[in-house]
């Protein structure tokens, strides 16, 4: 329990988590856009 709790409050893992969330949101948004041919 304490080991998992320290992971939750570790700043680096929190930053990586938010980067992953932002990446998923960006990919979802790009995937939802209509394809434009250059």
**For 14-37, what is each residue's pLDDT tens digit?**
899 999 999 999 999 999 988 777
Q: How far apart are CA 21 and CA 38, in angstroms?
A: 29
What does pTM read for this prediction?
0.55
User: Could you give the angle at the alpha carbon of 36 between the alpha carbons of 33 and 38, nearest 5°?
Assistant: 145
pLDDT at position 34: 84
pLDDT at position 6: 60
User: Could you give the angle at the alpha carbon of 20 between the alpha carbons of 22 and 30, nearest 5°?
Assistant: 45
Q: For residue range 3-13, what is the model confidence (pLDDT) as tens digits?
A: 666 655 678 88
Is 13 in contact with 7 (CB distance < 8 Å)?
yes
Question: Where do we find the tokens 């209509």?
Answer: 34
């Amino acid at each position: 329990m304490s080991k998992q709790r320290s992971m939750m409050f570790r700043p680096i893992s929190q930053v990586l988590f938010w980067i992953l969330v932002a990446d998923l949101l960006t990919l979802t948004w790009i995937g939802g856009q209509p394809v434009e041919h250059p």
